[in-house]
Structure 1
Amino acid sequence: MTFKFLSYLYNRFLSVYNSQGVKALYFKYRKFLKDGLLGRFFGKLKYYNDKNRSLPNPNRLVWVDSNKVGEKLSVNPAVFWNITLSKDYCYVFDGDWDKETEHILDSVTTKSLKMYFEEDIPWEETPLYKLKINRIERKGPRPGVRYGTEENLMKKLEDYEELYKKIKSEGYKTQKELIEEGKKGNHLNPVSKEVTISIGRGGNLIHRGEGNHRLRIARILNLDRIPVNVYVRDKKWQELRERYKDMDFNERKQIIKHSDMNDIKKD
């Protein structure tokens, strides 16, 4: 850890202590220790003890075509096993969790972003705006919630517009690059803050977690290479990774071009 990062942690803990007290500091620090430091340590330990390297490095970026991330999970796979997922690990799950998906193009967010950026339709006429305004009217203003007031809503929509402009003009940058440029707060594991995806039994790329708007904007801009953090793989897909080295040529060529195969050692 660099001095700059240790300084960041100190200021962060001091800020929590001064504003919320020792109890809040304890719970926030406990989560940081468990999901951050220990998550990275045991994730890497599992990876380096795997002689075939079929278990993915939990701190390695995978680069994918944004348009190939065509689904989003409608359920959290962790509910099948009653555990809390940490984006600092790589998980392998069996069962039918990867069938519980919706197409990204069907989501209110995707439709609204496409209407605004591609068709020049005002935010006020998009389904996302109407949905959030309707919720504000039903529940009343909630200033502390992201979309809790009309002012908050418009601020978030302006943020999406700024994100779109930056990605279009400067290119898609990793979280590590943004931290180094001073555009993001420091983080122990920047990879865990990338767009988070899971991989289904057939190798299909499924979004859930971090990077909801980044992914959709990348798709609108038709970006063919963005960094993602893969933190859940279906058991059948993982079994393919494990026996990749024993496959014959015809089997290999079916999956060799898949982004998730790039890290496996080849004879």
Structure 2
Amino acid sequence: MMAIHDIKQIMIALRALHRDRENRAVFGTVAPRTAELIWVDPKKINFYMGQLPEGLNIRRTSGRIVDFERRGLSFSPLEDVIPVKSSLMHWRDGLPWEETPDFINRMMRVKFFRAGISHNTKSAITRRYRKLDELYRRIEKERAFKTQKQLKPWNFREYGGVQIGIDAAGRFAVMRGSGLHRITIAKLLDLPYIPAMVGLVDVNAISYLEPLRAPPEHRAEFASGTSDMLREYRSSERLAVDASAMSLRSPLPGSAR
């Protein structure tokens, strides 16, 4: 008998087949694929994309090519997002989860909007943060995140992974509701790469994809045959990355860590 997760993956694959065919017809073999696995340096992921194109939800954005400027899409600083702020307060500065804005906000929603939803209970929220701490300790020990395929062999490509949008300047953004805690862990632990799922791609950003497709173990040989445009960010982008990395790892004055 076919399992429920198998049926779900088949439906995802069928939708992906249509979108991939359209992308390939217009943009050729370099076009992104739905739920495609990419490898990104966490230090270069410094933005958040909370706004999505009208009519799309986060489950249908992977591999879509859009004109960001025409659609009015933009990025905001990653550190301004409450789950990221709260994660830094907890893992970097030693503040208990219960004192972070994210935890407090979730508990307020339990109080006012629970209405019997199982994942919106105090125990469920407490369990969620306990699992985040377990994940942090595991990644700290293993020094790497697994791909979705490694976690679930039946999974369709990298579906369910951290979804990363790419704008025309080659900047990376975590897309709404997609892996904010995982990205923060990767940054704090200074991991060299994190597996991710390609999200929205600006029509002028397709060329940035090719080097991201190479697994970490093949990066050196790939870089030797890749153009400077694809290998490096602009000088201003590198400065922004360095500044962001320093702020992430710098504890607050008087913090426990």
TM-score, normalising length from structure 2? 0.70
Q: Is 1:215 matched with 2:183? A: yes
Aligned to 1:70, what secondary structure does the other structure show? strand
Query: 2:128 & 2:81 partners in 1: Cα distance?
Result: 18
Hey, which bits of structure 1, 4+ residues long, moved more than 4 A? 31-34, 46-52, 83-89, 239-242
Q: Is 1:131 matched with 2:105? A: yes
- State the match for 1:247 in structure 2: none
Task: Quickly say closer, same or farther: Cα 1:210–1:93, change in 2 above 3 A.
Answer: same
Deviations for 1:68-93, whole angstroms, at most 9, x for unmatched residues? 1111112112x1xx356655852111
Query: 1:50 & 1:217 partners in 2: Cα distance?
Result: 37
Amino acid at match of 1:235: V
* 1:203 Cα deviation after fit: 0.8
- State the match for 1:175 in structure 2: 148
Task: Quickly say closer, same or farther: Cα 1:138–1:37, change in 2 above 3 A.
Answer: closer
- State the match for 1:194 in structure 2: 161
Query: 2:27 & 2:125 partners in 1: Cα distance?
Result: 50
Q: Is 1:105 matched with 2:73? A: no
Task: Quickly say closer, same or farther: Cα 1:214–1:74, change in 2 above 3 A.
Answer: same
* 1:237 Cα deviation after fit: 2.1
* 1:32 Cα deviation after fit: 5.7
Query: Out of 238, 246, 251, which is 2:206 matched to?
Result: 238
- State the match for 1:163 in structure 2: 135
Amino acid at match of 1:165: R
TM-score, normalising length from structure 1? 0.68
- State the match for 1:76 in structure 2: 52
Task: Quickly say closer, same or farther: Cα 1:42–1:216, change in 2 above 3 A.
Answer: same
Deviations for 1:132-179, whole angstroms, at most 9, x for unmatched residues? 22222333x444243x22211101111111111111112211111122
In the alignment, is the contact (CA less than 8 A) between 1:200 and 1:233 conserved in 2? yes
Amino acid at match of 2:3: N
Alignment of 1:243-258 (within 5 A): 252-257=227-232
Aligned to 1:120, what secondary structure does the other structure show? coil
* 1:57 Cα deviation after fit: 4.0
Deviations for 1:74-120, whole angstroms, at most 9, x for unmatched residues? 2112x1xx356655852111143575322111111111111111222
Amino acid at match of 2:206: Q
* 1:129 Cα deviation after fit: 1.5
- State the match for 2:90 in structure 1: 116
The number of residue pairs the alignment matches comes to 215
- State the match for 2:240 in structure 1: none
Deviations for 1:2-39, whole angstroms, at most 9, x for unmatched residues? xxxxx6xx13289xxxxxxxxxxxxxx6x7654x1322
Task: Quickly say closer, same or farther: Cα 1:62–1:37, change in 2 above 3 A.
Answer: closer
**Percent identity of equivalent pairs:** 23
- State the match for 1:150 in structure 2: 122
- State the match for 1:261 in structure 2: none
Query: 1:13 & 1:54 partners in 2: Cα distance?
Result: 30
Query: 1:50 & 1:126 partners in 2: Cα distance?
Result: 46
Query: 1:55 & 1:121 partners in 2: Cα distance?
Result: 43
- State the match for 1:12 in structure 2: 4
- State the match for 1:22 in structure 2: none
Amino acid at match of 1:222: D
Q: Is 1:206 matched with 2:173? A: yes
* 1:210 Cα deviation after fit: 3.1
In the alignment, is the contact (CA less than 8 A) between 1:92 and 1:235 conserved in 2? yes
Aligned to 1:232, what secondary structure does the other structure show? strand
Q: Is 1:94 matched with 2:49? A: no
Aligned to 2:158, what secondary structure does the other structure show? helix
In the alignment, is the contact (CA less than 8 A) between 1:44 and 1:58 conserved in 2? yes
Gaps of 5+ in 1: 1-6, 15-28, 181-185, 243-251, 259-267
Amino acid at match of 1:201: A
From the CA coordinates, give the structure whose radius of gyration is larger.
1
Gaps of 5+ in 2: 211-226, 234-257
